[in-house]
Amino acid sequence: MKNREVAGVLYQISELLELHAENRFKVIAYSRAARSIESQKEDIEVVCREGRLDAIPGVGKAIAQKVEEYLKTGKIQVHQDLLQNTPAGLAELLQISGLGPKTIFMLHEKLEVNNLDDLEKAAREHRIRRLPRMGATSEKNILKAVERYKKRSTRILWSAAEPIVDEVSGYLRTISGLENITAGGSFRRARETVGDIDILATASRPEEAISAFVRMPLVEEVLGKGPTKGSVIVKETVQVDLRIVEPRSYGTALQYFTGSKDHNVHLRQVALDRGYSLSEYSLKRLSDGRDLFFDKEDDVYAFLGLPAIPPELREDRGEIEAAAAGRLPQLVDLKDIRGDLHVHSSWSDGRGSVEEMAREALALGYEYIAVSDHSPSVGIAGGLSPEKLDRKIEAIAALNETLKGFTVLVGTEVDIRADGRLDYPDEILAKCDVVVASVHMAQQQKERTITGRLISAIENEHVDIIGHPTGRIIGKRDPYDVDMPAVLEAAARTGTAMEINAYPNRLDLNEVWARTAKEMGVKMSINSDAHDPEQLKVMRFGVKVARRGWLERKDLLNALGLQELIRALKP
């Protein structure tokens, strides 16, 4: 499938257009089309051949033509022209905080800045301060931003942003007169990674609140401080902004600063169609220019004829249409989770006994866990021999006698070997209540081979769940080459579930594949893959992914009660 390749070219066009300060709507149109094509489960070449390109959401006539051009000739003229006109290295400068496309363009025109090194040199030689609207301060800020950019490894995991948000919000709550403290942006939408953290609040004395914010003990650097906005760096590389808004505008402001950009563009269009201009400040009636203020975000949506849209859905992936039609999903919640079907214990490489894992799960309000230890070929992880598995089964039976209102299920995380065979024979798998099958070895194999391995595991009559289905580790390891639509098709056909591994740097399946799986009728299970009792709590990160993937309670195995679960599992 060329979907990812085509999407990559469209993304690049969007970025280059932005660098050349082209029309905003054009910039967004390309990135929207790219994302849509990236998440299409159908082969883009087939769609193109059948003349259905413009039926893909976000792909209009003009972009459809470009996609066709690419599939026929291997390139897009507009893209080639943009590349010709953009020195390599210039696009990277878009990543430097505080440098907009217009400024980059000026630096390029006036100072022949073509890359990061040129930029740094120009700043050190004090050539930037002589440009219009620049000065010694902007020069210093650019150098600092370059420093930070070199240090930072891009975005941080949502799970790493969470304690920072908690700490900052906790501090802000001690400032008197500061209220309605909420972190917006990609944090509120619960993207798997977060860039800057944007906090919104109201204050009786805004300037004092900002001063207190930039003096917080955890601040390492102050990037900026104005009457209603402060910007700081904490934990070496994380930028946190505090913005104070008027109470009467809090609803529109929170909506605006939660984003996403694409969702907001679409929502503004909905407002325009009704004769209003939506901004962070108000809804302005176009007929007479009168401002309507909203202190609650839900009221903004209600005024536009829409129910409240959960932040996790605000990516312009059909949520506004669904809201208008009254078809928003009832998103799953952490409290809907009744158990965890993939945890490890000290029988293999876990650091808690089965009983310790069970006690913690009980404390979390669960009804069951499946203790799914490794199989023999994962030797370094203490995989269980068939004899040891038998002893574990006996121990679990004895433990269950002592537990009230809670059941430990016998699980296994059986390895899918390089040749596609499972690491236990069927008669051993038959002894387990829950069989999770995962790829751990030979992840570099060709797409056809890995896909074949996963499908043969799915077709096994005992395999209930495929563990961490793409193997990716965020920021460390790419997903293996796997034909996911083919895998999901096999899962749908055989009633095999896919895991959403909740481990914070796995989150695998991701939101896009989770939504596709749901649409194909595949059930999922959000599992912690916990290796000690404390790690059971990572479940909440998986729930975020499920919400961003539009999942409801009925899509999840582990939202079932024990008896329903047992009926839903393969024998």
Nearest Cα to 524, choosing from 499, 495, 559, 554?
A: 499
Nearest distance from residue 501's CB to Zn ion, in Å? 8
Pick the piece of the chain touching Zn ion (CB under 5 A) from 101-109, 314-322, 398-406, 521-529. 521-529
**Total of residues contacting Zn ion (CB under 5 A):** 3
Nearest distance from residue 415's CB to Zn ion, in Å? 8
Nearest distance from residue 485's CB to Zn ion, in Å? 23
Q: Where are the beta strands (DSSP E) in 416-461?
A: 434-438
Verify binding: residue 470, Zn ion, rule CB under 5 A.
no
Q: CB under 8 Å to 257, separation ≥6 — which residues? A: 184, 185, 198, 200, 243, 280
Facing residues of 224 across strands? 231
CB 7 within 8 A of CB 31: no
Among 282, 438, 505, 525, the residue binding Zn ion under the rule CB under 5 A is: 438
Nearest distance from residue 192's CB to Zn ion, in Å? 19
Q: Which is nearer to Zn ion, 115 or 443 (CB)?
A: 443
Q: Which is nearer to Zn ion, 30 or 541 (CB)?
A: 541
Q: Sheet of 465-466: strands edge to edge?
A: 339-343, 368-374, 407-415, 434-438, 465-466, 497-501, 524-527
Contact string 197-236 vs Zn ion (x = CB under 5 A): ----------------------------------------
Nearest Cα to 275, choosing from 297, 309, 303?
A: 303
Q: Which is nearer to Zn ion, 241 or 529 (CB)?
A: 529
Contact string 409-428 vs Zn ion (x = CB under 5 A): ----x---------------
Q: Which is nearer to Zn ion, 228 or 346 (CB)?
A: 346
Nearest distance from residue 340's CB to Zn ion, in Å? 11
User: In one letter, which amino acid is 466?
Assistant: I
Q: Which is nearer to Zn ion, 198 or 508 (CB)?
A: 508
Nearest distance from residue 263's CB to Zn ion, in Å? 35
Q: Which is nearer to Zn ion, 413 or 464 (CB)?
A: 413
The H or E element spanning position 84 is: helix 77-84
Q: Which is nearer to Zn ion, 192 or 413 (CB)?
A: 413
Nearest distance from residue 553's CB to Zn ion, in Å? 24
Q: How far apart are CA 114 and CA 104, in angstroms?
A: 9
Nearest distance from residue 565's CB to Zn ion, in Å? 19
Q: Within 522-561, which residues bind Zn ion (CB under 5 A)? A: 529
CB 244 within 8 A of CB 301: no
Q: Which is nearer to Zn ion, 139 or 413 (CB)?
A: 413
Nearest distance from residue 386's CB to Zn ion, in Å? 19
State whether the Cα torsion 558-317-239-300 is positive or negative: negative
Q: Where are the beta strands (DSSP E) in 164-280?
A: 178-183, 193-194, 197-203, 219-225, 229-234, 238-244, 276-278
Pick the piece of the chain touching Zn ion (CB under 5 A) from 66-74, 102-110, 122-130, 437-445. 437-445
Q: Within 40-79, which residues bind Zn ion (CB under 5 A)? A: none
Facing residues of 221 across strands? 233
Q: Which is nearer to Zn ion, 50 or 534 (CB)?
A: 534
Write out the DSSP string of 104-151. HHHHHHHH---SHHHHHHHHHTT-GGGSTT--HHHHHHHHHHHHHHHH
Altogether, the residues listed in the chain come to a count of 571
User: In one letter, which amino acid is 542?
Assistant: G
Q: Which residues bind Zn ion (CB under 5 A)?
A: 413, 438, 529
